Amino acid sequence: MNDIMMGLLNVVSPFNLLVIAAGTGLGIFVGAMPGLSATMAIALLLPITFGMDPASGISMLASLYLGAMYGGSISAILLRTPGTPAAAATVLDGYPMAQQGRAGKALGVSLTASLIGGIISSIALLTIAPALGKVALSFGPVELFAIAVLGITIIGSLSSGSPIKGILSGVVGLMIALVGMDPISGTPRFTFGQIYLFNGISFIIALIGLFSIPQALRLVEKDDGLQKVASSIKDKMLPTFKELKSMTVTMLRSSVIGVFTGLIPGTGGDTACWFGYNEAKRFSKEKEKFGTGHPEGVAAAEAANNAVVGGALIPTITLGIPGSAATAVLLGGLMVHGIMPGPTLMTEHSLITYTLIWAVMLANIFMFLEGLVLTRAAVSVTKIPNKVIAPVIVILCVIGSFTINNSIVDVFVMFTFGIIGYFMDKINIPTAPMVVGMILGMMLDNSMNQSLLMSDGSWMIFLRTPVSAILLLIALISVLQATPLFGFIKNRFKKTTI
Amino acid sequence: MFKKSLWKKAVISGLAVSLMLTMTACGTPNQPAGTSKVESDYPNKPITVLQGFAAGGGSDQLAMLTGPYLQKELGNTLVNQYIPGATGAIAWTQLTKQTAADGYTLSITNTPMLMTNYLMNTEIKYTIDELTPIANVVTDPGILVVSKDSPFKTYQDYINYVKANPGQLTIANSGTGGDDFFTILQWQKATGLSVKMIPFTGDGPSWQAAAGNKVQASSTNLGVVYSQVKAGNLRALAIYSEKRSDLLPDVPTAKELGVDLVAGSSRGYSAPKGIPENAKKKLIDSFTAIAKDPAFLKGLQDAALPIDLKVGDEYAKYLKDQETEFKSIWDSVNDTIQK
């Protein structure tokens, strides 16, 4: 208890507050730039923190991570180009809202949802971290396979309009995920002798291309009529109490989903936003509104991706297991400060750990305040003529895809996906399922093969552990829900009860 | 009107900052290829260190720990450039094929991936003969760990089980072709026993699978799991080093247990083949000097990375010997794995 209070006292020192505010602001900015990810920014900023004391340095990096999770939604809403992969699901409802002249409201909902997601995950981090940390270890290949299967059922709900087209897009995504070195045998697959393809095609690079390039082209094609709608904030930015109340359940649900997705090593904000969105849609009474500019869709995705931050930090501080790519870099940072990440963080370095936890909590508040100011400024981006904004998007895409691996090959891959995305859009094939397929494909392939190696090829292994059996059952229900059969049973049930 | 121009300014300055960020990310571009003329004042400009793995990983950790001391010795800055992909092969191909041999580009070279990359995949064209090995800095010995709730209390319990259940025990490694993968193969060869190898995507997932009882054991590295063993989450049964580690003095070596096996993962620095003699000498001298610096040694100790300094020809011979060994192991198992 004492350590908790010491951490709080430590964090409210003027220097630490300044560092957290700066980290959060930088995070929002980095997040808003397509291609500049939180992970990359943390790696870049790491050397700067070496001069600070470890608690301040790590707090700054963690607040950057949190800020970036919100920042990604700004460009997703205003430009239809997700700033980070974690904001990809925000595009679905955020951009239609902006088109309807409700850009300010969309950003306000996103900011509020991010705040709630962040605060809930910080509370989880502060109170039940040791208990939840153990959950991270209970996820092995078998459980990860079940998560991937469940994730794939999301494709069904993303394909509004034509399920066949959605499934086509998703399957292509899954197939693209197979490119690269086979994780089990080490043999290259579909690489055509190119060592640049050995690691597969990064979904982040594909995502930049699929979402941003077609949007740049669309902006050039259309006249300036569209953006004039988006630019005027007529309504209030922050959701009213009534609106907030209607979204409370969704935000809470997404926050819990986010914490757990963050907790599981190997899944982060990029997965959580889809899960959050999907569950919001599943439980909603107005399913058909999703994808047309429904504020609840934005809230669901954004609460989930900000809740990931606290969730991903739980196994990081209790066990030394990074819950996501960004926390892996954070752990590397701790090592350079001479702190062995691991189970001793909570005991031997408790002051640093609790300072970090409070910093994450405070960073949420800074994010909210800075977000309010920045968002007003950001909306004016839409006042810039299309002919200017389109090339700027392309430039950002090139920079972003290059910096991920310092590879020009990635830039060409990005453009290839951009062109594919443009034509997919023309024939009304949704690109979102393809991204989900790519994110989950690698996990599905790897975990399935690992599990089958363990079980000598018996598929029963997936039903033998309770966690995976339950997850697979939910996946089965999701699939049935989408078929006419489910509606039939439901109708029958209704009739008999009446 | 004024307001509008202000926004424009804000947007433009925002873009400028993003460009600056990107510049830092890119690091300095490669030196133009050309003649490697002898310079007496080497190094007179920053040296680029290519890293074949993403920021925050094991190579980066070594670079972060070594960098400051090396810069002081060399009298110039080191710039890290991250080119992850194909288990380091993209960076090493660039180092050997596309980099001027002027001593201004180095790369962190990790064994056994440095060799196993091209031994296992014919698409990877570089070999260690195209390198000037400068210095090996650390060797992280292999270690056999099990979960704290495992029925295997000692190495003897473990081996008894493997003997009774040939090919049944599940053991995690950090990935096909990685150091732990080869360590298990070497162990099977040395003992004549067989286990069921499950590849994971890195050292972390490998030990975590053992800690969560998803697999029965994990073959990993001391530096990776030291804090977990110390905290009692994992139990170390044997270490594959010449002598016991100071960090875990109670863990017996494989040699003591009657298995002739020394294995691990080494990380050092190499330059392209044919760098100027004075540059090579300056680099080697610098590494020799920092290896005597108590502050540097303390940094390695805190990170549980055992120092293993081998410079110049000694490092070259070490790489060559390893190449021969890994080639023979890979050739003998290649057929069975591919099936």
Look at residue B153 and tell me if it is in a domain: yes
**Does B146 share its domain with B159?**
yes
Tell me whether residues A185 and B338 touch, CB distance under 8 A: yes
From B26, B56, B61, residue closest to A403, measured CB to CB: B26
- Shortest distance, CA A301 to any CA of chain B (angstroms): 26
Q: Taking CB atoms and an 8 Å limit, are A384 and B11 in contact across chains?
A: yes
One-character DSSP codes across A77-133: HHHS--SSGGGHHHHHHHHHHHHTT-HHHHHHHHHHHHHHHHHHHHHHHHHSHHHHH
**pLDDT exceeds cutoff 80 at A43:** no
Whether residue B170 sits in one domain with residue B80 = no
**How many Cα atoms occupy the beta-carbon half-sphere of A39 within 13 Å?**
25
From the list B27, B198, B338, the residue facing A450 with the nearest CB is B198
Chain A, nearest residue to B23 by Cα: A403
Pair (B101, B172) in one structural domain: no
**pLDDT beyond 50 at A79:** yes
Q: Among B208, B240, B264, identify where a domain stops.
A: B264
> Is B148 in the same domain as B249?
yes
**B26 lies in a domain?**
no
Q: Say which amino acid occupies B40.
A: S
Q: Which of B231, B264, B297 is the last residue of a domain?
A: B264
- Least confident piece of the model among A265-274, A310-319, A375-384, A411-420: A375-384
**Is 70 exceeded by the pLDDT of residue B33?**
no
Is it the case that residue A89 has pLDDT exceeding 60? yes
Six token digits for residue B309: 């300094």
Provide the pLDDT confidence category of residue B17 given band limits of 50, 70 and 90.
Answer: low
Q: Are B107 and B214 found together in one domain?
A: no
Residues from chain B contacting residue A183 (CB–CB below 8 Å): 175-176, 199, 201
The pLDDT of residue A334 is 79
Contacts of B15 in chain A (CB under 8 A): 392
Provide the CATH number for the domain around residue B211.
3.40.190.10
Which residue does chain A place closest to B59, by CA atoms? A332
Q: Which domain holds residue B149?
A: 140-264
Q: Which of B4, B170, B228 sits opposite A454 (nearest CB)?
A: B170
Tell me: do B104 and B145 sit in the same domain: no
Q: Is B80 helix (H, G, I), strand (E, B) or coil?
A: strand
Residue in B260, B261, B64 with CA at minimum distance from that of residue A46: B64
The answer to whether the CB of A258 falls within 8 A of the CB of A69 is no
Chain-chain contact of B27 with A381 (C-beta, under 8 angstroms): no
Q: How far apart are CA A266 and CA A271, in angstroms?
A: 10
Query: Nearest CA to CA, how far is B223 from chain A (Å)?
Result: 10
The answer to whether residues A418 and A434 touch, using CB atoms and an 8 Å cutoff, is no
Which range in A2-11, A42-51, B244-253 is most confidently predicted, on average pLDDT? Answer: B244-253
Question: HEC states along A286-316?
Answer: CHHHCCCCCHHHHHHHHHHHHHHHHHHHHHH
Q: What is the mean pLDDT of residues A323-351?
A: 78
pTM of the predicted model as reported, rounded to 2 decimal places: 0.81
pLDDT at A495 over 80: no
Contact residues on chain B for A231, CB-CB shorter than 8 A? none
Q: What is the enclosing helix (H) or strand (E) of A274?
A: helix A269-283
Give B177-189 as a DSSP string: TSHHHHHHHHHHH
**Residue B133 and residue B270 in one domain:** yes
Which structural domain range is residue A60 located in?
2-497
Give CA–CA dist B283/A180, Å, rounded.
36
Return the closest-CA partner of residue A254 out of A103, A86, A137. A86
For residues B266 and A142, give the distance between their C-alpha atoms in angstroms, rounded to a whole number: 32
Helical axes A295-319 vs A325-336, angle rounded to 10°: 30
Mean pLDDT over B288-315 rounds to 90
Q: Within this chain, do residues B307 and B321 fall inside the same structural domain, yes or no?
A: yes
Strand partners, B332: none
- Establish if B164 belongs to a structural domain: yes
State the pLDDT confidence band at A20, using cuts at 50, 70 and 90: very high
pLDDT score, position B165? 93
Count CB atoms within 10 A of the CB of residue A310.
32
Are B302 and A338 in contact (CB < 8 Å)? yes
Q: Indicate which of B59, B81, B90 best probes the interface with A, i.e. most A CBs within 10 Å of its own CB.
A: B90
Interface of A with B in 203-262 (CB under 8 A): none
- Residue B27 falls within a domain, yes or no? no
Spatial CB neighbours of A405, under 8 Å, sequence gap ≥ 6:
A202, B82, B83, B84, B85
Nearest CA in chain B to A141: B214
Closest to B199 (Cβ–Cβ): which among A136, A183, A343?
A: A183
Residues B165 and B305 in one domain: no
Look up the CATH number of the domain holding residue B73.
3.40.190.150
Instruction: Specify the 3-state DSSP secondary structure of B76.
Output: coil
Q: Please report the pLDDT score of residue A497 as a whole number.
A: 54
Give me the residue label for tokens 């964090």.
A11
Q: Tally A–B CB contacts below 8 A.
A: 175
A181-198 pLDDT, tens digit per residue, is: 888 877 888 888 888 888
Q: For residue A342, what is the nearest residue in chain B, using CA coordinates?
A: B227
Whether residue B151 lies inside any domain: the answer is yes
Q: What is the CA radius of gyration of chain B?
A: 22
Instruction: Please check whether residue B36 lies inside any domain of the structure.
Output: no
Q: What angle do CA B16, B21, B27 make, to 5 degrees?
A: 125
More confident residue, A269 or B215: B215
How many domains are contained in chain B? 2
Residue of B nearest to A332 (CA): B56
In a domain, residue B51? The reply is: yes
The mean pLDDT of chain A is: 85
Say yes or no: B66 and B211 in one domain: no
Q: How many residues does chain A have?
A: 498
Judgement on whether residues B169 and B235 belong to the same structural domain of the protein:
yes
Report how far residue B177's alpha carbon sits from residue B111's, in angstroms, rounded to the nearest whole number: 11
Same domain, B75 and B121: yes
pLDDT at residue A417 in the model: 95
User: Where are the strands (E) in chain B, listed by range?
Assistant: 47-51, 78-82, 105-111, 131-147, 170-173, 196-199, 217-221, 234-240, 264-272, 307-311
> Which tops the pLDDT comparison, A382 or B161?
B161
For chain A, how many structural domains are there in total? 1
* Helices A203-221 and A408-426, packing angle to 10 deg: 50
